[in-house]
Amino acid sequence: MNINDFTKGWLVGNFEPSLIKSKDLEVGIKFYKKGDIESNHYHKIATEYTVILSGVVKMMDQIFQQGEIVVIQPNVCNRFECIEDASLVVFKTPSVMGDKYIVE
């Protein structure tokens, strides 16, 4: 088994494939390269916790680096930008399919 066997690094949650199926929690390990960007989005139900394991990222118009934890409450927009190569662990609770809304 390899992390690449899972969709975008998401390992735990109410989806397939998953190591552990759970409606309560999602866990993902994410790797980004400098310059990677994710669309501005929000969650209506889930709270998202991002732990910066390495690198530097920009989230919610703030810069975060190794060791910092970012908490994004429901209905708060976030546009992700990778400033330096980075690795993250992301937790979302609860795990709700379709709870990601792109903001143009």
Specify the pTM.
0.94
31 to 13, 21, 27, 75, 94: CA distances (angstroms): 19, 22, 14, 25, 22
- Segments in the chain below pLDDT 70: none
pLDDT score for 64 = 98
For residue 34, give the amino acid letter: K
CATH superfamily, region 30-92 = Jelly Rolls (2.60.120.10)
pLDDT score for 104 = 81
Alpha-carbon torsion angle 85, 68, 59, 8, nearest 10: 60
pLDDT tens digits for 25-44?
999 999 999 999 999 999 99
